[in-house]
Chains A and B, each alone.
Chain A
């Protein structure tokens, strides 16, 4: 496996063409089942939020929902030839609270690519992203920056 499927110059050049252009925009409505699934996944043994009705009680949804949306696989529209990848870092600034039935618009863009050569894996790419999440009244919910490492 090592040595196979290395990124070549053409891949890197295609990545670089996408810098600073929005690579993904989508809308998502926050519903109760989405929040419950997420909370159970974070803490299946001790469901701290069990019994809370986020909709009826108009309770702010945990920020981890935004974190889950920034997960590696949740960048629809990305057509990069991802072979092997790891998360590098994530940074979140939270502004407006989220509630059930909010409709979020998520814009993700690639902001930078750095290359490093490795004998073992060939070209290692450090992709930096910025994601802006706004709600239905155009208030900023979260600004996310992050990096993925592809090799």
Chain B
């Protein structure tokens, strides 16, 4: 998904096209290396099990990064991310479906700044929201 939406194209309440993905253990290892987050619950099945989890879990920061890319890819390069706040409210296990969803919440002009605010979130394959975030992007037009 690589769009280029203009400020005037975006409507409040508009839903972003959902994206479903499976985060595999290979990706968790890649993220662990890239972010230097080597907590064992993300790749060691025995360790995860000993800590009450049924499988290794997806890194929260990876879900954040996925959501951030998701909203930026939808709006395109003219929209610059200025603010992002995410909250982790559930667990996503490795090799399960994660769906990225989003909706435009606000759209306003502040001086010469054209601002779009979106709510984005991840849902597990059970349909539970596991990460939710607010992204505020500024158009450089």
Residues of A within 8 A of B (CB): 1-2, 34, 37-38, 40-45, 48, 62-64, 67-74, 84-94
Contact = CB atoms under 8 A, between A and B. Distances in A.
Contacts of A69: 35
A120 to B, nearest CB: 9
B36 interface: yes
A84 B35 contact: no
Interface stretch (B10-18, B81-89, B109-117, B119-127): B81-89
Contact of A43 (B60, B64, B69): B69
Interface residues of B, number: 38
Contact of A2 (B36, B52, B59): B52
A103 B80 CA distance: 22
A96 to B, nearest CB: 11
Interface in B29-64: 30-39, 41, 50-52, 59-62, 64
Contacts of A37: 30, 33-34
Given A63-B81, A64-B69, A90 B31 contact: no
Contacts of B81: 63, 94
21 contacts: A1-B50, A37-B30, A37-B34, A38-B65, A43-B69, A44-B27, A48-B69, A62-B68, A63-B68, A71-B61, A72-B60, A73-B35, A73-B36, A73-B39, A89-B85, A89-B88, A90-B61, A90-B86, A91-B84, A92-B84, A94-B80
